[in-house]
Amino acid sequence: MSKKGYLFSLILFWSISVFGQKNNYIYDNYGPIYTLMNDSIIVYNTKKGKQIEATLNQIYFKAGEDKLKEFLINNYYKSNHYDDYSYRVFFFILFNSKLKIKEIRGVVLPTNNFAESQKERIKMFIKGLKKTKSKWVKKTKQKWYVYCFSFVTD
């Protein structure tokens, strides 16, 4: 596994263990988002309950992940005086083989402290992610792609 893969796994699983999510799953209103099969393969659970097997890190944003975060923060972030602290937001984007975005899920951990202002901010970021539809590149040919990333809001 590459250094980037190890770093992603470390950040993701550290966050899960620190916040004590049930059975090492990340949940949202629709249930667990994915199940880890091995170092690179997950079973992604759609909002409708369909299970999709996908290899991670087989797709990337053309300008890079830092530019993706910059795009979201510059265009879809609106300061909210209700948020007194920073928090980490995790996004999971499901693409089909033609790189059409099929679903986006956003989660703040721990989910039991999920405030209304955070939900609204995630909705803004999801709106922005939907506007990136022609800005993705695939590394390999697959039926499904899942792109995961996180960042800390201010």
pLDDT at 147: 95
pLDDT at 59: 95
Number of structural domains in the chain = 1
pLDDT at 16: 46
Each residue's pLDDT expressed in tens, for the chain with a length of 154 residues? 555 554 455 455 544 444 434 445 688 888 899 998 888 899 999 999 999 999 988 999 999 999 999 999 889 876 655 555 677 889 999 999 999 999 999 988 766 666 777 788 888 899 999 999 899 999 999 999 999 999 887 6
Q: How many helices (H) and strands (E) does the chain have?
A: 3, 10
pLDDT at 19: 41
pLDDT at 28: 84
pTM: 0.79
Q: How far apart are CA 45 and CA 48, in angstroms?
A: 8
Please say whether the beta carbons of 87 and 153 come within 8 A: yes
Domain boundaries, position 104: 3-152
Query: CB within 8 A of 103, min separation 6: which ones?
Result: 46, 47, 93, 94
pLDDT at 27: 80
